[in-house]
């Protein structure tokens, strides 16, 4: 059993690490200031011109299309490489994302057909278009099978009516992947369908945003007699639930990699501070409490990293049902970062609470992650349900 990273992935890691140090970390004071000043507004934390510059520099060093198949113009390095890239990028709080912008790639490449490939998949994969997924509703957050939004067949068209909430990037997306009920009797067992809805489609309004803790800033989206052709159906009618579930699994891996990167940044800061700060005549590094904080943080990061890399490796091997593993990494990683950043803040004392450092920003930003994409309690239930139904696997 080989636990070393493949040479290609190792080189990618080193490239992204350098990019993060040179291009992202110097921008952190700007991001902290913009987040503090944003208030109820929804301006992007990275100014558009800076984002454009960062995207160009990322392309120069090959940081684009990491997991996009070669047939769609990408580099096809796989999920493990993408996981490593995300981890290294999140050594910084700058919310920079190289194209494509979210795990919707896995949904689109599995379900797009015909003209949808040129209209949506290809421009999305190469960064020309941004997407978002509109799934959650009031009363149907973690329980996606309980959504109520309807899509009815009328006069040879699809007519969508309903509302979605907690939708990230809704105003910035060029198109949405919208999940609606097409057969109320079947619901998640053959009654849910995904649709591709372009920005500016008549009947779609986004009047409400939700300013929230950290950088998370979702929206409410309304659909009032939105008329779509059959060409806007993504995948097969009635069969959206399983592909959507797989997409959510990829997103949970993405979140886990983010948490590992941020936790590693916190640990680096803890070690540097412990080796330089003196109190009562001795270095913090000589205090047993500090030593234990650092030792525990390192061990926990290593354990969660191995679990996360293992899931990425499974996906690269073609495993398609990874719901239990996705729940495991989501729970462990999001709870890991809370423990590590709390220790880091405690080590730095008053400075850890200030906006001179990124620690308080990390603490607020990461608190969101124990709720979005399924709260820890639901994921623990998913894990237990699987084990109680199917038994404990041998490996």
Active site residues: 373
Q: Alpha-carbon distance 311 to 321, whole Å?
A: 11
Return the structure tokens found at 211.
């300013």
The total number of residues written for the chain in this structure: 395
**Cα–Cα dist 142/177, whole Å:** 18
Q: Which contiguous run of DSSP H or E holds residue 196?
A: strand 192-198
Produce one character per residue of 268-299: b if its CB has 16 or more CB atoms within 10 Å, e if not.
ebbbebbeeeeeeeeebbeeeebeebbeebbe
Sign of the CA dihedral 386, 165, 108, 73? negative
Nearest 10 degrees: CA dihedral of 72, 76, 79, 80? -170
Structure tokens at 201: 């489609």
- H/E stretch holding 307 reads helix 288-316
C-alpha span between 310 and 317 (Å, rounded): 10
Angle at which helices 376-390 and 323-348 cross, to 10°: 140
- The DSSP call for residue 26 is G
Evaluated on CA atoms 145, 151, 152, 156, the torsion sign reads negative
């Amino acid at each position: 059993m080989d636990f070393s990273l493949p040479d290609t992935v190792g080189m990618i890691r080193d490239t992204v690490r350098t990019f993060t140090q040179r291009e992202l970390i110097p921008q952190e004071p700007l991001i902290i200031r913009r987040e503090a000043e944003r208030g109820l507004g929804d301006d992007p934390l990275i100014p558009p011109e800076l984002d454009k510059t960062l995207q160009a520099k990322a392309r120069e060093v090959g940081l684009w299309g990491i997991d996009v198949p070669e047939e769609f113009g990408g580099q096809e390095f796989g999920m493990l490489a993408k996981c490593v890239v995300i981890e290294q990028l999140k050594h910084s709080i700058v919310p920079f994302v190289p194209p494509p912008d979210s795990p919707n790639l896995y949904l689109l490449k599995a379900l797009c057909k015909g003209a949808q490939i040129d209209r949506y998949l290809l421009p999305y994969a190469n960064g020309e278009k941004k997407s978002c997924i509109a799934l959650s509703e009031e009363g149907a957050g973690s329980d996606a099978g309980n959504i109520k939004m309807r899509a009815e067949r009328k006069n040879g068209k699809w007519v969508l009516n309903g509302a979605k909430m907690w939708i990230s990037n809704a105003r910035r997306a060029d198109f949405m992947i919208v999940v609606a009920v097409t057969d109320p009797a079947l619901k998640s067992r053959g009654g849910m369908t995904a649709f591709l809805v372009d920005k500016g489609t008549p009947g779609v309004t986004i009047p409400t945003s939700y300013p929230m803790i950290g950088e998370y800033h979702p929206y409410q989206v309304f659909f009032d007699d939105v008329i779509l052709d059959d060409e806007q159906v993504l995948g097969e009618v009635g069969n959206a639930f399983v592909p959507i579930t797989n997409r959510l699994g990829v997103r949970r891996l993405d979140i886990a990699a983010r948490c590992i990167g941020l936790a590693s940044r916190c640990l680096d800061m803890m070690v540097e501070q412990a080796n330089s700060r003196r109190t009562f005549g001795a270095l913090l590094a000589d205090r047993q409490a500090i030593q234990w904080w650092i030792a525990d943080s390192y061990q926990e990061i290593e354990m969660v990293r191995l679990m996360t890399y293992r899931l990425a490796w499974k996906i690269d091997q073609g495993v398609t049902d990874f719901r239990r593993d996705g729940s495991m990494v989501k729970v462990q990683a999001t709870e890991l970062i809370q423990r590590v950043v709390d220790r880091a803040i405690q080590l730095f004392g008053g400075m850890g609470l200030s906006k001179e450092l990124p620690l308080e920003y990390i603490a607020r930003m990461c608190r969101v992650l124990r709720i979005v994409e399924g709260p820890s309690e639901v994921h623990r239930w998913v894990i237990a349900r699987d084990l109680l139904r199917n038994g404990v696997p041998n490996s």
